[in-house]
Structure 1
Amino acid sequence: MTQAMTQPKRLRRSTASGYARGDETRQRIIDAAIQLFGEHGFKDASTRDIAAAAGVNAPALQYYFENKEGLYKACAEYITDDLQARYAPSMKHAKNVLKNHTDVEALIDAYLLMQATTLDSVLVQPHLSRGRLIGRELAGESPQIASEMLRKKMKEPINKLLLSLLARIMHTRPNEPITRIRMLTLKGMVLAFYYPPGACMELLGWKEIDADKGAMIKASVQEQTRTLLMSWHEAGMRKDAA
């Protein structure tokens, strides 16, 4: 399966040209596939169910994506491209702050802006389904295609920026274990809300995370993050003064 997934057949219609032509049917299939792959995993999400959810017949999937593996790869490419566009403003802002500002409030605000982008990308449909799809990959339940694309194109540059911001806030260095541990701590607050699928909603007693509930989660996570960042900053200041 791994080899087949890494070397899929040539698509009859390229991803780039499909996006450029704004192919509504193709996008509808991708949207349905992301939702079902996220809910059921690669193995248990059938092409028949995906086609039905997209309102097309089964041959349409073959026409656009050749096979199930090709469809999954197209979903991974779409998620990666979409996240790159979403993160571009907050990443640009973070780089500017690191270059031109030393004020802790500016540094914390830049960190929170990047975190807000992450929260917006995983809390509200259809983004929640994307987070579930990636979460299943990380848990070994689906081929690691989207997570690998995101690692190379998104995770590595984002982590570099977040570590740089944290180090400046905390008066540490990006490569110090405490900086990396605390970044993982902050990421864990977000991770709890999209993997495993449905776990947070079961605990909260919710059937779904709509816009209002997503906003509530976002506000709570950001409030806790700001408190922690300021606390770590003050501890770093005391350590420097000692």
Structure 2
Amino acid sequence: MNTAKRLRHSPVGGYARGEETRHRIIEAAVELFGEHGFEGASTREIAARAGVNAPALQYYFENKEGVYRACVEALADDALKTFGPAIEHAQQVVRENADTATLIDAYLRIQDVMADRTFEKANKPGRRMFFAREQAGYEPESATQILACKIREPLNDASAALLARITGRAANDPLTLIRSFSLHGQLVIFHVAHRSTLSMLGWKNIDAEKAEQLKSAVRDQTRTLLEHWSRERDEALAAAATPTIPAASKARSRKRS
């Protein structure tokens, strides 16, 4: 897949206008790729929705693959701005060997950011479908590679590192990863099964009040599980530290008594 062309600079304000045009094309393309998929969306439709002529789209991106890659890069960069501080905080508390309460709070902070992004996309059908198609494997594989490198791997690594400290298991232990995926899955369901979840709840959309209700419920469930797993860790450590009396010694002790 070709990399999108670098925007040319103009000595008299052309760069700013060019960036605005480029952004408008990307926004239109995200909507159309979401609605029709990569194969179904045409460059002519994208240009028309963005309010530019077809040659302008070719000027900035060369071809449809260039437009699609620019969309993925823009969405990944936007997500990183949101997730970046929570990921950095998670990495910091792990490095500092923070106490369990701080580790749990850091995990919940990541989940709160995930919730905000999930419910934001839920109210933007084009973006939601763009990601849904990519996750389903229907779109160019390079999109998954870009998103994995820029946001998914750092996010999953930070979550697993926190969970490893909370539970006492290794970060790459399959159970650690399964637990982390399942905790985040509480939010993903509202993204991938948007229509059915709203229907079952009797909601038309997820406004600010409903989003907070969902976040609060997921936060409470996650905290309960994390605290339970941390107690299991402590119990296992305590059991390992308790000296065991050999069976022969126990038998001699009973005879003497």
Per the TM superposition, whether the score is higher than 0.5 is yes
Partner Cα distance (1:63, 1:197) in 2: 37
- Quick check: 117-126 or 137-146, which moved more? 117-126
Q: Counterpart of 1:146?
A: 143
**Residue pair 1:41, 1:136 contacting (<8 A) in 2 also:** yes
Partner Cα distance (1:32, 1:24) in 2: 12
Q: CA deviation at 1:10?
A: 6.0
Compared CA separation, residues 131 and 166, structure 1 to 2 (3 A): farther
**Residue pair 2:4, 2:67 contacting (<8 A) in 1 also:** no
Match of 2:113 among 110, 117, 134: 117
Compared CA separation, residues 71 and 201, structure 1 to 2 (3 A): farther
Aligned residues: 231
SS in 1 for 2:230: helix
Q: Counterpart of 2:82?
A: 86
Partner Cα distance (2:43, 2:205) in 1: 25
Partner Cα distance (1:47, 1:202) in 2: 35
CA RMSD of aligned residues (A): 2.6
**Residue pair 2:32, 2:46 contacting (<8 A) in 1 also:** yes
Q: Counterpart of 2:99?
A: 103
Q: Counterpart of 2:209?
A: 212
Compared CA separation, residues 123 and 88, structure 1 to 2 (3 A): same
Q: CA deviation at 1:175?
A: 2.1
Q: Which runs of 5+ in 1 are unaligned?
A: 1-5, 15-19
After TM superposition, list the pairs within 5 Å mapping 1:133-212 onto structure 2.
Answer: 133-196=130-193, 198-212=195-209
Compared CA separation, residues 106 and 78, structure 1 to 2 (3 A): same
Q: Counterpart of 2:23?
A: 27
Partner Cα distance (1:59, 1:155) in 2: 34
**Paired residue type of 1:227:** T
Identity over aligned residues, as a percent? Answer: 45
Compared CA separation, residues 210 and 51, structure 1 to 2 (3 A): farther
Q: Which runs of 5+ in 2 are unaligned?
A: 9-14, 240-257
Say which one has the larger Rg. 2
Partner Cα distance (1:169, 1:234) in 2: 9
